Structure 1
């Protein structure tokens, strides 16, 4: 059974339909690359998964449970951890305060997060606003991990970061895949870096799933057609 499954999802923002027929699924321990050009429905699909946006048709299940009537905080309690686009750290709180704000009991505690991202231990008492963009991104990932999720969703987690920081984050994701058994959905534009961690890929085009399969089966024809500029 899939950990999370979206089946033929439709969704609206007011009168405007954003998703028409989105289907995807992620198994325990699997890394899925959710791909597509800007504005094609990736973040909207994430909002549906996290119950920040209600779907109008289709079905969303997590570990076999229908999520249709679930509020977002209950989706988080089920085990969905989100690293949102734009990081959204609590600017006036310290690194430590950001990390413990939504912490839940489990393997991922302050020490485990700092082992994954040693910079956060060094900046423990600094306000999040004083961190670099890359450090804030590490903090956002650490904050999601502190909820001890079964599914970690990363929405453009390396966008706009310096190459050395991008590499640190991708290495951390590879470590999570190898050691945690956590399911991961990663939205990113870098095929090369996604290829280091992703098992499968789903491509969205104008609010529809247009390709799904093993990441290694993603060829030049598909990338040019659906991901090219």
Structure 2
């Protein structure tokens, strides 16, 4: 067994431990096998800087520059689980960052679209995902608050930065029956991971899942301009 395989197995065990610890909040005793398999296939060490390779499979967020982070693996797993992404799905991610969450989604969905507002991160993630062979991923530089209208509607949307209000364009771009997963709240204050469902009639219901801590969503609308 290679050292990276061993580290990945340790990460997956830590994720399972967190699932057990939070089951009363999340309502989940275990993650779907497809989600675990997706996390196992994605080489997290390919999404961090060289000086952090030894910590790539730690179950914690890591800095990726420009004030951004690669999310804790447990949170990536949980958000993926909540989105219920499967074959045939078209998914939008707001906040590409390193590209790690995008890669996990790409292991499950047919099409993944990801928007990143930091030009350097958008460029690096696009190059990284291409080099790893993800052909079902499209990325672009832009303000994720606006979603990706040309590619809508989406079966699922994941937002990887905290926002005090759910962006209306994302709700509009969600298919009936779709799911939106995002951290809701103010930066540096209390945030809740929220699952939003849109039913067949376009009606919305939301569920608070558990407390989280994310970097803030940025952009003109996110700043309240």
TM range (shorter): 0.3 to 0.5
Normalised TM-score (structure 2): 0.33
Structure number with higher relative contact order (C-alpha < 8 Å, ≥ 6 residues apart): 1
